[in-house]
Structure 1
Amino acid sequence: MAKSIKIRARMKGGTCEVKALIKHVMETGLRKDKKTGKVIPAHFIQEVNCEHNGKTVMSANWGTAVSANPYLSFSFSGAKKGDKFKLSWKDNMGNSDAADSVIK
């Protein structure tokens, strides 16, 4: 089970509506630590991929402009209740996470 991703995929009308919350610091590399005065290194999600039954339905390249703990929402067609859905991400420091869900 993913530690950083909360995901919900539900059918709404004829489309699948996906809502996800990703726990991540999303540091730009421009802020300074208030105590030490040193620059906090950049640490942000670079790639987000979403798959429906193993087929990519959405992919995104993110950068430093995305806020901490990003919220992602989108919809796609061609799904039905009970299908499998997967969201995964990779960041600039080599960390990654993924979460699976069943469309409701």
Structure 2
Amino acid sequence: MKPETPRIDMPRTAQAGEIIRILTKIRHPMETGWRRGGDGKKVPRNRINKFVCDFNGKEVFSADFHSGVSADPYLVFHAKVSGTGTYNFKWEADDGKVFTASAPITTVGV
């Protein structure tokens, strides 16, 4: 399974102070290290272990992933929009790989 660009689903605009829903999804095998492959040998552990979301450099959400998380994990969480800026997303894997994405949001209205 080849990792791909993470998917982010969130509004592009919101009012300052509004609470928005953010959905993230990343394609990843999330191997626990317990499964055996076709050759009978254990498949090496390879999972995303940490997720962090920041808004303009200030952390707004984080999660630690453990072996109970299935392949292609997605998260849904809510965040309060403090103004126009960019949400930055980072996933860290056991093998040292880091996957990133970002999504801008613009405040409108009052």
Which structure has the larger Rg over C-alpha atoms?
2
Q: In 2, Cα distance between the equivalents of 1:60 and 1:68?
A: 16
Q: In 1, Cα distance between the equivalents of 2:85 and 2:36?
A: 45
Segment drifting more, 62-71 vs 5-14: 5-14
TM-score relative to the length of structure 2: 0.82
TM-score relative to the length of structure 1: 0.86
2:17 matches 1:16: no
Q: Which amino acid aligns with 1:46?
A: N
Q: Percent identity?
A: 31
For structure 1, the 5+ residue unaligned runs are none
For structure 2, the 5+ residue unaligned runs are none
Q: In 2, Cα distance between the equivalents of 1:32 and 1:79?
A: 47
Structure 1 counterpart SS, 2:10: strand
Q: In 1, Cα distance between the equivalents of 2:21 and 2:82?
A: 10
Deviation readout 1:20-43 (Å, 9 max, x if unpaired): 11111100111111x201110110
State the partner residue of 2:87: 85
Q: In 2, Cα distance between the equivalents of 1:79 and 1:17?
A: 14
Q: CA deviation at 1:87?
A: 0.6
